Chains A and B, each alone.
Chain A
């Protein structure tokens, strides 16, 4: 009988043993080494053992009786230290065992982040039963756990420890959880589910150090955040365990290199499982390992067989979180997405089609058709005939259309619909049930939609849901082809449903596309910046090109650069710096603008950062001439020099500009401050104008001097500069919070009515103050000079051209 030695008693070698012994139990005398002091157990079920939903005894695959009945000589807890290929002997800590055939199944080792403190007691990985027991033992009253890694394993560890009563934080380096298996939309739903059970999630978190003296005490991140920890679990990935193979001089790449027959560079040595590399591919999921095991058994019995990797699918073993992911779902040319969302039931389905084939599927909340989709992917089935109904699965019986009102239907009765009058959904429903079957009656009885009118669409949807088919909603144009909601509905629902990310908005409001379009993404990005300045992070990729590049692109592809000149006032030093920049970067045109500043036109994209740095060095910042935000505050010279000036209009303009610059708004905002009614600063055709008079300041709003020309409307008169500042900041904040994206102030005021605006910022002093305070909170985040940040050397690469094609053309 030939001698077979197996190193490693994991799931892959365990399955190979089963196949081998079933096919020919007398073929080999088998010796099985394992560094762990136990035999084969179902490692992928360790997560339920950690959570307490399974016991270790239940996940044992092969117990002592199984090995004994099959005559396997078990050497558990006995690590192999060396392989002598010449004499075909394996050496363990207890001596040598000869072999005719050797099977390496050394598995993988968890990756340890090389940070200080990684060796402190209390830091563990999540790989085997010993790690699991360490985590279970750490579950003491009040204990805090930090899991580094928001992948499959890390999240299962987090949920398990949470169930055992620990306070758990997950730190994930990437922007969304399980980024290798899920897209941002599905990941949003998963994060929401985990957070609902008390797990804190910190994405984009890079671990800087693990802190502690005698044992772990905290984890410090690069962004300065520190999380207290009694236990730190690193679950950031694995790498094949190849040390023995390396020492034995077998061919090793990232893993032990094997042929289709699972044979290494030594014909008498095979390898199987996570330790192998096959056609430059590594393996971490169990399905391909079992396929490999079948090939190993066949090869050992000299039968023809060849390993062919197939697609794998992923499921998360966290009770209550239903997700499924298979295939390839990255964006790519020629690929098409089919998306289905049911916000009320937390369902997201996305299929990725290339040509006539399904190549990827991501499902959250409804995974019933996962196996079917997986079969279509694996078998490369032609889906042409069922393309239109594919998303509804194999049991499609006529389909179901996306319900645009699902988000409103899912709102609880306490959800606020009308912010002006504080009217909740329940009150509207009650009024409708009591007989209010028209919008006017609902307005009369509840006050909903009776002030600015922005919530009218939502009120009508609540009425339609309550009245059923007997009420017809006025159809306003939707935001874009990705959604049936109007801008107004989206703005209100972002607030009402406390939606704080683009994936959250798209999922909860039932977006019909995967990631939105060039129309809705900039709008959503603005709405989220406006509503959640502290929580939401600006998504640069969701901005128009001018805002992305912080400069206005011109028709020849060059850019214009406009430094800010506060109130239109400059100095010889600034002018010299501008002149120097114009010379240095060969600026073809220097132009004075209508907003009292200087425009450098024709700047090459790659010169932008250096020019910004030079202008920064002279004390100038971006003029935001490209932004949906404050552009200019035009002033006259006022009392300083003018014989007719009544107030310090120049000083007031500068102070206003310094208060308002940097804030993002639905559309551009221009101000003017004139020192007397002669109005040299043309304040009465600006978005906001101030005309100084002897007795104070007249503030007017909603002027325009572009495609439309309008004179401003009188808002109020105040006595002091401080009041001017507060009224204008409050007014702009109200515009920021309520207007539709790309609507200038004059369009917004026409919609909500000047009286409503007055009620917000003139009549209600407490509300004015609250608006001002919210504006200042936002400014604490966004009043920064983008030039200073983007001119840094580490940021300059992104401004370089992809390739210098002009030279090639010249040659």
Chain B
């Protein structure tokens, strides 16, 4: 079966996810799932951030994905409760439609001493994508190799996302690639990679990659939905173009399209609102999953894709 399939679910790399949306000039919590981390949940519910404030406000102000690896003494306003609940790193992804901020998605990771995995932000510099920042848990050697890697347009997961303007899900990261990084990924046990473009005002190129290890997956189910009107037609629909699941195996089907319409289910809600969505344990989630994160990508003035992962 596929690499991320596990008989017995292991703790996932991502522990907490939350969506902050702009309301009257500040970012307020729209949805979030904190699991049993009640202290952090309580601290978050009462928060709001102005542009430039805290981690969500920083991603908004700087219009780029931001990785925060050391909470103590940082600009993370909820650092004390985050640390108390065992959270050790975070990634904030701003969701822009053109120049308009739709939301900021923030994910927190936990239990990192033994966790292999990587969350990376790649930025274009001098015609190639280079590592802007990243969090690697215990994959220290891989971190070093990544810091010295670069990807041309069309090559590797980051370069492939950049060239196609499309989220991509890649398998077998450890073999058959012309990159030193691939060998190191294999040694770190990293097998599955999700890459997504992060469009921002001003035209800078950012690609976020989530690299999952077999034993300590980032998530156990990934989905990529294509919502471009030039692909699915007008009227707000999305087609599942790729996906893998630890329980169900492959989710894609090259003969029969799986479509959702606007406001139909969680993906339809994202289609309708244009904002990310985080759901906790719920009847609408696939069986066996306690958390869903769905992230929309806006390109060329339309919602082009939705990436969803499930823990």
Chain B interface bracket (under 10, 10 to 19, 20 to 34, 35 or more): 35 or more
Q: Which residue of A lies closest to B167 (CB)?
A: A319
Asked if A220 is an interface residue, CB under 8 A from chain B, the answer is no
Contact between B230 and A320, CB atoms less than 8 A apart: no
* A residues in contact with B231, CB < 8 Å: 322, 366-368
Contact between B1 and A57, CB atoms less than 8 A apart: yes
Of the residues A44, A52, A137, A142, contact of B170 by C-beta under 8 Å: A52
Rounded to whole Å, the gap between the CB of B299 and the closest CB of chain A is 11
Asked if A54 is an interface residue, CB under 8 A from chain B, the answer is yes
Asked if A467 is an interface residue, CB under 8 A from chain B, the answer is no
Contact between B153 and A197, CB atoms less than 8 A apart: yes
- Known contacts A42-B254, A140-B178; is A393 also within 8 Å of B171 by CB? no
Asked if B233 is an interface residue, CB under 8 A from chain A, the answer is yes
- Known contacts A53-B169, A58-B250; is A143 also within 8 Å of B154 by CB? no
Asked if A87 is an interface residue, CB under 8 A from chain B, the answer is no
- Known contacts A42-B254, A55-B3, A320-B165; is A196 also within 8 Å of B153 by CB? yes
- Known contacts A45-B254, A368-B232; is A320 also within 8 Å of B163 by CB? yes
**Which stretch in A161-169, A455-463, A691-699, A722-730 binds the other chain?**
A161-169
Q: Which residue of B lies closest to A319 (CB)?
A: B164
Contact between A366 and B230, CB atoms less than 8 A apart: yes
- Known contacts A58-B249, A163-B154; is A52 also within 8 Å of B177 by CB? yes
Asked if B152 is an interface residue, CB under 8 A from chain A, the answer is yes
* B residues in contact with A369, CB < 8 Å: 233
Asked if A801 is an interface residue, CB under 8 A from chain B, the answer is no
* A residues in contact with B288, CB < 8 Å: none
Rounded to whole Å, the gap between the CB of A142 and the closest CB of chain B is 7
Chain A interface bracket (under 10, 10 to 19, 20 to 34, 35 or more): 35 or more
Of the residues A44, A52, A141, A394, contact of B180 by C-beta under 8 Å: A141
Q: Which residue of B lies closest to A166 (CB)?
A: B178
Contact between A319 and B160, CB atoms less than 8 A apart: yes
Q: Which residue of B lies closest to A42 (CB)?
A: B254
Contact between B177 and A57, CB atoms less than 8 A apart: no
Rounded to whole Å, the gap between the CB of B39 and the closest CB of chain A is 40
Asked if A94 is an interface residue, CB under 8 A from chain B, the answer is no
* A residues in contact with B171, CB < 8 Å: 52-55, 58
Rounded to whole Å, the gap between the CB of A198 and the closest CB of chain B is 5
Contact between A165 and B179, CB atoms less than 8 A apart: yes
- Tell me the bound Cα distance from A412 to B232 in angstroms: 28
Rounded to whole Å, the gap between the CB of A369 and the closest CB of chain B is 7
Chain A proximity mask over B235-251: 1 for CB below 8 Å, otherwise 0: 10000001010000110
Contact between A196 and B178, CB atoms less than 8 A apart: no
* A residues in contact with B175, CB < 8 Å: 136
Chain A proximity mask over B82-113: 1 for CB below 8 Å, otherwise 0: 00000000000000000000000000000000
Asked if A152 is an interface residue, CB under 8 A from chain B, the answer is no
* A residues in contact with B232, CB < 8 Å: 368
Q: Which A121-140 residues have a C-beta within 8 angstroms of B?
A: 136-137, 139-140
Asked if B176 is an interface residue, CB under 8 A from chain A, the answer is yes
- Tell me the bound Cα distance from A347 to B228 in angstroms: 13
Contact between A165 and B155, CB atoms less than 8 A apart: yes
Rounded to whole Å, the gap between the CB of A100 and the closest CB of chain B is 32
- Known contacts A141-B180, A369-B233; is A319 also within 8 Å of B250 by CB? no
* B residues in contact with A366, CB < 8 Å: 230-231
* B residues in contact with A58, CB < 8 Å: 2, 171, 244, 249-250, 252
Rounded to whole Å, the gap between the CB of A660 and the closest CB of chain B is 41
Asked if A613 is an interface residue, CB under 8 A from chain B, the answer is no
- Known contacts A58-B249, A165-B155, A322-B230; is A139 also within 8 Å of B170 by CB? no
- Known contacts A53-B170, A58-B250; is A395 also within 8 Å of B235 by CB? yes
* B residues in contact with A44, CB < 8 Å: 254
Asked if B166 is an interface residue, CB under 8 A from chain A, the answer is yes
Contact between A320 and B233, CB atoms less than 8 A apart: no
Residue from A42, A57, A159 having most chain B Cβ neighbours under 10 A: A57
- Tell me the bound Cα distance from A367 to B233 in angstroms: 8
Asked if B168 is an interface residue, CB under 8 A from chain A, the answer is yes
Chain B proximity mask over A31-64: 1 for CB below 8 Å, otherwise 0: 0000000000010110000011111011000000
Rounded to whole Å, the gap between the CB of B201 and the closest CB of chain A is 15
Asked if B234 is an interface residue, CB under 8 A from chain A, the answer is yes
Asked if A335 is an interface residue, CB under 8 A from chain B, the answer is no
- Tell me the bound Cα distance from A142 to B177 in angstroms: 10
- Tell me the bound Cα distance from A393 to B182 in angstroms: 44
Rounded to whole Å, the gap between the CB of B179 and the closest CB of chain A is 5
Contact between B176 and A139, CB atoms less than 8 A apart: yes
* A residues in contact with B159, CB < 8 Å: 163, 197
- Known contacts A42-B254, A54-B171, A198-B154; is A395 also within 8 Å of B180 by CB? no
Contact between A198 and B155, CB atoms less than 8 A apart: yes
Q: Which residue of A lies closest to B162 (CB)?
A: A197
Asked if B290 is an interface residue, CB under 8 A from chain A, the answer is no
Asked if A199 is an interface residue, CB under 8 A from chain B, the answer is yes
Q: Which residue of A lies closest to B178 (CB)?
A: A165
Asked if B73 is an interface residue, CB under 8 A from chain A, the answer is no
Contact between A196 and B163, CB atoms less than 8 A apart: yes
Residue from B159, B164, B180 having most chain A Cβ neighbours under 10 A: B164
Contact between A162 and B155, CB atoms less than 8 A apart: yes
Asked if A327 is an interface residue, CB under 8 A from chain B, the answer is no
Chain A proximity mask over B247-278: 1 for CB below 8 Å, otherwise 0: 00110101000000000000000000000000
Rounded to whole Å, the gap between the CB of A42 and the closest CB of chain B is 7
Rounded to whole Å, the gap between the CB of B22 and the closest CB of chain A is 26
Contact between A55 and B153, CB atoms less than 8 A apart: no
Asked if B52 is an interface residue, CB under 8 A from chain A, the answer is no
Q: A198-B154, A319-B166 are in contact. List 8 more A-B contacts (CB 8 A).
A: A51-B160, A164-B178, A196-B153, A319-B168, A320-B163, A345-B300, A365-B230, A368-B231
Interface residues of A (CB under 8 A from B): 42, 44-45, 51-55, 57-58, 136-137, 139-143, 159, 162-166, 196-199, 319-322, 345, 347, 365-369, 393-395
Some 9 contacts from A to B, beta carbons below 8 A apart, are A51-B160, A137-B176, A140-B178, A164-B156, A164-B177, A165-B156, A196-B154, A319-B168, A367-B231
